[in-house]
Structure 1
Amino acid sequence: MSVRLCAANLPDIAGKAAVPSYDRSALRAGIVHFGIGNFHRSHQAVYLDALFEMGEGHDFAILGAGVMPSDQAMRDRLAGQDYLTTVVEQDNASTSARVTGAMIDMLPVGDTPAIVERLADPAIRIVSLTVTEGGYFIDPDGKFDPAHQAIVADAQNAEAPTTVFGLICAGLKARRARGVAPFTVMSCDNIPHNGKVCAAAVIGMARLVDGGLAEWIAANVAFPNGMVDRITPATSQREIDHCRETLGIDDAWPVYCEEFKQWVLEDDFPAGRPALEKVGVQFVPDVTPYEHMKIRILNGGHAIIAYPAGLLDVHFVHEAMQTDLVARFLDKVEAEEILPILPPVPDTDLGAYYALIKRRFGNPKIGDTIRRLCLDGSNRQPKFIVPSVLDNLRAGRMPTGLALESALWCCYCRGVTDSGAAIAPNDPDWDHLTERARAAETDPMAWLSMDAVYGGLKDEPRFAEPFADWLRMLAAKGTADTLRTYLGQA
């Protein structure tokens, strides 16, 4: 018989999963976090929960915040279970569950005065966010876009902002007016130099409203860069049912994730921070080499397996790793075009790191889907794939396999698998991508002309020519035979 997750039922749940031993009523909010999704709850919240278990950092509990309709739905679910979450860690050979209690409340979604007032509270020393790669209002040149309609709307109505960055600016403005030291803004999103990207968005937003505020933020607010890592699939009815039927916990939105997690963070927190180094967070002077390693090997690797697997009707990621052509494609591209152009990472063997990545990809218990990996390629490709292409070209190396990856993404965006099955829209810009992908059937440069993704690569024959060749071969021979040709099996 299952037990509904809530604070009152924790004694009954203790026999089914680990539960907080600390007194949650004694926790005090020190962090406001925007974007209470699965990744945050499997990563930052887990690290904080572990620290609280050690009897430390109890003044750094999390207040959730959000601006999207999905945030309201999440608030409703979590409020019904006292903001507790069941985190189920699944390794290849083991499964463990823990109820985490680091989040103590969530601010009313859409209530600007309430959110700004908490942001102005001196007790709040960190504002963190996971708003996805596409949530930073980046223009085709990779810079903050002040002309985006949501940003323009906030600038015109600065007292009632609706974006995360408008709210952060409003909170900082209130602190400045009250003589309260600013909080640190900590991006936990999976983007290169996420702190710098976040700073550009916050300062850019402020500049549209109050030049003096923008200068004050630039001079006084810290935006540490960080590298985050944990494979965390979306929750579906499958996970909800498993949690109830197998673990005996009735959780409205449990989080399932791999056992592995990593967080590398620059130590720039003038307002103070929890002692996260005691629970495994690496604090370093420069996160760049760790960032390159993870984004190029893991996230780039996800893209390399995602599109051929998607075209071959493979559903789960571990099934892709069991598909010989896909797994060998990954090995060849990583070995020839990603690992060789990565700079050294302190105290890290890149070959061993890649072996770990493959083991994580092959974990059958995670239930991560190929569709999730294929999602939002228009935002992910320029961050996870194109930098490796450019570095290969600078080094005089031919990015043949990465050109094939791009051709596979193009084919995927046509919306039909090799078997003729329809691919449902899987990108915020899906209609535009589909139009481009179909035009590329006769003119491959129609795809590479997306400057927001490829920059000037359409004019680089060392990439454009193999891309066009692969695209023609995919049309003529299909995904499997094209992979065999690349692997030297044709």
Structure 2
Amino acid sequence: MTILNTTSLPHLPPEIMVPSYDRGKVTPGIAHLSVGNFHRAHEAVYLERILARPGQSDWGIVGIGLMDSPGEADKADAMKAQDCLYSLTECAPDAPDTVRVIGSIIEYVHAPADRAAAIERLADPAIRIVSMTITEGGYYVDENGHFPLDLPVIAEDLKRDVPHTAFGVLTEALRLRRDRGIGPFTVLSCDNLPQNGHVARNATLTWARARDAALAEWMADNVTFPCTMVDRITPAVRPDDVRRLDAASGLDDRIPVFCEDFIQWVIEDKFCAGRPEFDAVGVQFTDNVYPYEEVKLRMLNASHSLLGLSGVLSGYRIVSDIMADMNEVSLVERYLGLDAEPLLTAPPGMELHEYGALLLRRFRNHAISDQLLRIASDSTSKLQMFIRETAMGLLATHRTPIRVAFVISCYLEYLRGHDDNGATYPIMEPHLSAPDRALATGADLDAALNMSVFAGWGLTESPDFVTCYRTVRQAIRAHGTRRTLAEVVLTAQ
């Protein structure tokens, strides 16, 4: 196998696409907080296209890893060893895979090794955009949009001279820039949150006000926080995937990524310090991201939650397998057509029915085989983002809530940690409190509806929903998820 680095780049096989620009001439213009697989398959791909355009060489990416974990330290080591290069395998459902080497990340900083240095890197005047993918739960906001300063992780961060959290890092970097007369940067959230720019602004300014009110006022006046909608299915990469991807490419790549061939990015054009030519490489600009993100969150992401939770409980582990179960497919089709679509307003030029059909095609992509446990993880945060509005709309219009009752029941049963076959699995719910876990797994099924995840949904105020939920959850416990789903699909309209 060929070790992937700058030296080997000119000698790779012709079927592997490599950067068409001179990486030696690329300088940084964007810093990205938390460089996960999604960022490397999405924003970094758009920047790869941009860097190939004339006059755009000053928009390279500086990746900044915030988390202090062995996996993140290994990623930093791999980035250094490979000169920040990695392979991306794009998988179409009906065409051969395409392998390309992505070179848009030109520098990587592991913040836990020197957090002050990472903040100093953001203070570089060349950095005009700081983007981030810190996950939905990483913003810590509650159902009312409140950023909790009394949360231990935030309260502790505010006491530090050198902060650790994303919002502390952003604030401290902006303080340095203000004090040095450099000017602000744009904060660009790329997470699956409704109005993610507003959420990022609220979280950052709330942290900043608690630290330095005058600085927060300067930030409010000068820093922009565009809303965005991002979309590309990018599975977790496990050790077996690394071996499989490297065997197919012939590369010795410690950090390969694979994804579907579909990609989309919609952004508000609000950049206080300039931006690259996003619109020339397929990014769509709009004055109002809300309709796009609502369709994506309440159709694609909600469908993923349905499949992830019911699939794990049914004993499935990858999406392509579950899509061979016609009851699971029918569940998604009915949820999309009967529950989500009637409550949505399509953006200009989009047909919701066609969008739903495209989702099912994407989910059937066997080459992706996304992990259902990954999709089900952090459902405590995801249900609030992806299911809540549809649930509230169904209750308000007195329409059948059975599919929402089913996914909520699956979530609660998922928290018990074993599937229909008795097999156990890891539960990754970093934002589930101990009191909520006790409510979810207790003997009183109705008490689970009082969990904080459901605050503001109005579930307990609807006798029809409570009855439906109780019936479905009892059925799952008595007969299993698959049999209950078959009954839900047969009886629900």
TM-score, normalized by the shorter chain, greater than 0.5: yes
Aligned residue number for residue 14 of structure 2: 15
Aligned residue number for residue 38 of structure 1: 37
Aligned residue number for residue 115 of structure 2: 112
Aligned residue number for residue 210 of structure 1: 212
1:260-279 equivalences under 5 Å are 260-279=262-281
1:107 deviates by 2.1
Provide the rounded CA distance (Å) in 2 between the counterparts of 1:55 and 1:249.
30
CA contact (8 A) 1:263 1:282 kept: yes
- 1:272-297 deviations in Å (ceiling 9; x for gaps): 00011111000000100000000011
Q: Call closer, same or farther: CA 1:56–1:359 in 2, change over 3 Å.
A: farther
Aligned residue number for residue 55 of structure 1: 54
Q: Which amino acid aligns with 1:460?
A: S
Say if 2:120 is the partner of 1:135.
no
Provide the rounded CA distance (Å) in 1 between the counterparts of 2:57 and 2:446.
56
Bigger Cα displacement from structure 2, 33-42 vs 111-120? 111-120
Say if 2:148 is the partner of 1:145.
yes
Bigger Cα displacement from structure 2, 191-200 vs 459-468? 459-468
Provide the rounded CA distance (Å) in 2 between the counterparts of 1:358 and 1:17.
29
CA contact (8 A) 1:90 1:365 kept: yes
Provide the rounded CA distance (Å) in 1 between the counterparts of 2:354 and 2:242.
34
Q: Which amino acid aligns with 1:37?
A: G
Provide the rounded CA distance (Å) in 2 between the counterparts of 1:431 and 1:445.
18
CA contact (8 A) 1:203 1:218 kept: yes
Give the gaps of 5 or more residues in structure 1: none
Aligned residue number for residue 28 of structure 1: 27
Bigger Cα displacement from structure 2, 69-78 vs 331-340? 69-78
1:430 deviates by 6.1
Aligned residue number for residue 411 of structure 2: 409
- 1:394-431 deviations in Å (ceiling 9; x for gaps): 33323221111111111121111111111222322568
Q: Which amino acid aligns with 2:76?
A: R
- 1:327-374 deviations in Å (ceiling 9; x for gaps): 111111211111111112111011111111001111000121111111
1:14 deviates by 4.2
Provide the rounded CA distance (Å) in 2 between the counterparts of 1:29 and 1:290.
30
1:398-437 equivalences under 5 Å are 398-429=400-431, 432=434, 434-437=437-440
Identical positions, percent: 37
Q: Which amino acid aligns with 2:87?
A: T
Give the gaps of 5 or more residues in structure 2: none
Name the SS for the 1:8 alignment partner.
coil
Provide the rounded CA distance (Å) in 2 between the counterparts of 1:256 and 1:322.
22
1:148 deviates by 1.6
Name the SS for the 1:171 alignment partner.
helix
CA contact (8 A) 1:298 1:357 kept: yes
Say if 2:449 is the partner of 1:448.
yes
Aligned residue number for residue 244 of structure 1: 246
Q: Which amino acid aligns with 1:60?
A: W
Say if 2:129 is the partner of 1:126.
yes
Q: Which amino acid aligns with 1:121?
A: D
- 1:52-98 deviations in Å (ceiling 9; x for gaps): 12234211110011221243321111111000110100011221011
Name the SS for the 1:114 alignment partner.
helix
Provide the rounded CA distance (Å) in 2 between the counterparts of 1:284 and 1:197.
18
Q: Which amino acid aligns with 2:237?
A: T
Provide the rounded CA distance (Å) in 1 between the counterparts of 2:461 and 2:491.
30
Which consecutive segments of 4 or more residues in structure 1 shift more than 6 A?
A: none
CA contact (8 A) 2:137 2:431 kept: no
1:269 deviates by 0.4
Bigger Cα displacement from structure 2, 22-31 vs 241-250? 241-250
Provide the rounded CA distance (Å) in 1 between the counterparts of 2:129 and 2:356.
33
Q: How many residues align?
A: 486
Aligned residue number for residue 180 of structure 1: 182
Provide the rounded CA distance (Å) in 2 between the counterparts of 1:59 and 1:431.
44
CA contact (8 A) 1:66 1:164 kept: no
1:101 deviates by 0.5
CA contact (8 A) 1:35 1:71 kept: no
Name the SS for the 1:92 alignment partner.
coil
Aligned residue number for residue 355 of structure 1: 357
Aligned residue number for residue 374 of structure 1: 376
1:243 deviates by 2.3
Aligned residue number for residue 163 of structure 1: 165
Provide the rounded CA distance (Å) in 1 between the counterparts of 2:15 and 2:212.
53
Provide the rounded CA distance (Å) in 2 between the counterparts of 1:136 and 1:375.
16
CA contact (8 A) 1:379 1:453 kept: no
1:140 deviates by 5.3
1:163 deviates by 1.0
Provide the rounded CA distance (Å) in 2 between the counterparts of 1:173 and 1:434.
39
Aligned residue number for residue 289 of structure 2: 287
Provide the rounded CA distance (Å) in 2 between the counterparts of 1:283 and 1:224.
11
Provide the rounded CA distance (Å) in 2 between the counterparts of 1:368 and 1:483.
21
